[in-house]
Chains A and B, each alone.
Chain A
Amino acid sequence: MEFRIAHLYAHFLNIYGDRGNIITLSQRAKWRGIEVKVDAIDIGQDADPDYYDFYFIGGGQDKQQIVIAEDLVKRASTLKTAVAGGAVVLTVCGGYQLLGHYYRPHEGPELKGISLLDAYTVAGNRRMIGNVVIKRDDDTTLVGFENHSGKTFLGKDVQPLGKIVVGNGNNGEDKSEGACQGTVYGTYLHGSLLPKNPAFADHLLIQALARRYGAIKLATLDDALELQAHKRALTLPA
């Protein structure tokens, strides 16, 4: 079995520990004897929509966001083909914002998104920084750290990833955090997201592998250290 990851703009958007998500998925696959292939896909570089099981886009600085947005619009149709074929897309922070319909800054023109998520983002006046805990529909929790001023609002075709227990989330107003539409995910949680949320990491892994291997069961891992860190994060102040 092989797990194929496309890390979009890996060299461009490599802050906030985004690497941690790739490391986590790779290791959790390898520990189960699954081969892993990670490709960094740069601006202007094509990615075969039939090839990859999983796509990741992280966060970046404002200036980089503009360049990324232009490139993302160009690859929108291939990404949509990949998603239609069952590929999983995980986006964090800046990447999340660009997966919606648009990002509206304080000044200047709107940045066009690719509408893989029914959501839009507007520039806010305060930076939302701090620890976050969210509760998912199945009562499980996700923990992480947010640092953003953009406020994201969800449309009717998309579900929030969870409900805010600690922190701000999508916009600091409606208690929602993140977005999930089919196999496409967006979130403001870094920290990194996946190392401390091993069950969610496995959920993404299973969903992504289902594209080529159907319903599979992953071998159980000893997650004592991960769960300890998760438990600790539940007690952190916002």
Chain B
Amino acid sequence: MTEKTILTLADRAAVLVAKLAASSIRKLGLGLGSNLPGRLALKVSPNVLGHLSGQTTRGVIAITGTNGKSTTSGILSSILRTAGFTFAHNRQGANLVTGITASLIESADWNANIAADLCLFEIDEAALPLVAQQVIIGSVVVTNLFRDQLDRFGELDTTARLINKGIGINQSLAILNADDPNVCQLAPEVSHLFFGLESVAAGVAAEGNMELAYCGKCGKEISYNRVFYGQMGHWYCQGCDFKRPDPAIYATDVEVSATASRFKLFIDGKAEECTLPLPGLFNVYNALAAAAAAFHLGATREAIRAGLKAYSTLFGRSERLTIEGKSVIVQLIKNPAGATQALASCIRDPKARLLIAINDNLADGRDISWLWDADFEQLTALTDTSITVSGQRAEDMAVRLKYAGINADHIFTVPKLAQAVTQALSTLGADETLWLMPTYTNLLDLQKILKSMGVSMSGT
């Protein structure tokens, strides 16, 4: 339990100003994602974020990492709801300081009171130190660290340094992925809670391209007894004593299908049989991260099991929809590891058809080289499937597929997304599923396109 912070007059004014701004933005139809309310609030009271979050009794938990932040936050929300906790959550993927401030103010009443047990913040790796300077963060979950952020920060070491700094400011508890050697080298000086994957059922193969990792202590290449996903697995260093720590929270006997996974979840030495309505080992890692965080926050094993089962997908993260009677799965892709995993789920579906939409706006990453690092070659397993490519860089995507070994006659380039969606749906067989894989800004467009067709995606 943390002591409640006293709100200042400035905090109350900040909340008032932000709420007024937010309501006018809504009235003017300017849409989601505006930073204005958060920015105004921070102008009026620079400490408003810390003061508001300080009112909660169980404090703040932060979730960061390269991939899976939103899914992990979503699964954790589901568990916390099941466990009967009330919490504030920056739900719309607004994970920079202004966005988090705006989200938190939405959870407050006009008097700036927050009736929540805790705050759950999904935070961009680069923003973590900034948020940590304003907010006392009790624990930080790090899902994984992939080397895919060069466009933004220059190199992985920069990201690791920023996360270390963020954790160090409040000496937060670090809830870390034991299977990711890049994550395990973080924050050596604070207390840890590790989660990991112990074993998978016979026949479950490793996912993704194996990524090499280098020892955080001696720099030597990391060795593996087992690889599950990317650079995650049972690892050790041949050059020194650095090795995978024993996780306190872990899964065994993982089975995966095209839409779900089942596993035994061990917490505090006791097992629960769990079902997660999400495909892929990668999402099992997200579930483990959420379970570890929930356990730390005081949720029971039973609440964790029930919360995993009740999880329903977030905006664009493996969402199932029915459009004009046809089955559609929407899966955001934004980097090689995530895309490779999404494709692995897709090829498990023998009735899959594909629409891939690539944009190169700032929010997507302007450098689309990553298309060449993702394993599109697996799509050759779907013989004779036609693939539609769309978005600002549809032409690049078409070339990538051709060189992955897809017959050029089966690749259809339709740069305009609305047209591509209509076309793909009209030729989709009744027993087939359209796998729609957009980058971030294509996903925003898709949301609007589907809305005009009378279909709402979650998060809208």
User: What residues of chain A have their CB less than 8 Å away from a CB belonging to chain B?
Assistant: 11-12, 14-20, 23-24, 27, 61-63, 67, 127, 129-131, 145, 147, 190-192, 195-196, 222, 224-226, 228-229, 231-233, 236
Contacts and interface: CB of A to CB of B under 8 A. Distances in A.
A18 B369 CA distance: 8
B369 A20 contact: yes
A126 B329 CA distance: 42
B399 interface: yes
A190 B413 contact: no
Contacts of B221: 11
A61 B399 contact: no
B369 A129 contact: no
A145 B369 contact: yes
Given A11-B212, A192-B372, A130 B398 contact: no
A15 B373 contact: yes
B370 A17 contact: yes
B372 A229 contact: no
Contacts of B366: 129-131, 145
| Shortest 7 CB-CB contacts between residues of A and residues of B | A17-B369, A20-B372, A17-B372, A229-B395, A61-B155, A232-B395, A228-B395
Contact of B150 (A15, A192, A196): A15
29 contacts: A11-B221, A12-B212, A15-B147, A15-B373, A16-B150, A17-B371, A19-B373, A20-B369, A20-B372, A20-B403, A23-B403, A23-B404, A27-B403, A61-B154, A61-B157, A67-B219, A129-B366, A145-B368, A147-B150, A190-B369, A191-B368, A222-B408, A225-B399, A225-B402, A225-B411, A226-B402, A228-B413, A229-B396, A229-B399
B448 to A, nearest CB: 24
Given A16-B150, A229-B399, A236-B360, 19 more contacts: A14-B212, A15-B147, A16-B367, A17-B373, A20-B372, A24-B403, A61-B157, A62-B154, A62-B157, A67-B219, A127-B154, A129-B151, A130-B366, A147-B150, A147-B367, A190-B367, A195-B399, A231-B395, A233-B396
A23 B372 contact: yes
Contact of A145 (B156, B367, B413): B367
A238 B154 CA distance: 19
B369 A232 contact: no
Contacts of B413: 225, 228
A93 to B, nearest CB: 10
B369 A225 contact: no
Contacts of A24: 403
Nearest to A193: B369
B377 to A, nearest CB: 9
A192 B369 contact: yes
Given A63-B157, A229-B395, A229-B398, A191 B367 contact: yes
Given A127-B154, A225-B408, A225-B411, A16 B399 contact: no
Contacts of B398: 225, 228-229
- With most chain B CB atoms within 10 A of its CB, the pick from A62, A195, A225 is A225
A62 B155 contact: yes
A122 to B, nearest CB: 17
Interface string B380-393: 00000000000001
A205 to B, nearest CB: 14
B39 interface: no
